[in-house]
Amino acid sequence: MESNKIRIPDKLTPPIKFAEVQPQLYRGAYPRPVNYRYLETLQLKTMVALLPQPVTLESDASLFSFCTKNQINLIHVECDGKTKDKGKKRGIPIDHDSVIRVLEILLDKQHNPIFIFCNNGGQITSLIVACLRKLGFWNSVSIFNEFVNYSSTVNHNDRYFIE
């Protein structure tokens, strides 16, 4: 007698603060193993890691192996991890040259689809997306409204950097 069991597929869990920025471009927090199955559905060609240190076999074998297995180009862009101050005193954890480098990657379609991430999917990733929006001629109010959806606040330093 044949069983009539229904197989329920494994969950698809996106990274924290995940969103589609535009077609073929996604943002979020540092991906964990629970997110890999979801990320596989995006058929990514590139991941841009906005982190103090690169993702290596030694620092995170799981993510490094995931990228290798799925032939994802993992690009590291160094960012300052020392931005623990909140509110008005919070500094900018990425310099202009690094932002330009990331924007060049994002605007080059050979890298699509792309997932950009920082540790928590907040300030650093939001700064990159805000600069991309600025290039797309979004108005400042719309840019800052999107920014605060992923970061706790948009302070004076953030605004000045984006402008």
Task: Give the dihedral sign, CA 81/82/85/88.
Answer: negative
For the chain, give the DSSP string: ----PPPPPPP--PPTT-EEEETTEEEEEPP-HHHHHHHHHTT-SEEEEEESS---TTT-HHHHHHHHHTT-EEEEEE--S-----GGG----S-HHHHHHHHHHHH-GGG-SEEEEESSSSHHHHHHHHHHHHHTT--HHHHHHHHHHHSS---HHHHHHH-
67, 79, 118, 131: which one is catalytic? 118
131 catalytic, yes or no?
Answer: no
Kindly report the number of other CB atoms within 10 A of residue 3's CB atom.
5
- Residues carrying an active site annotation: 118
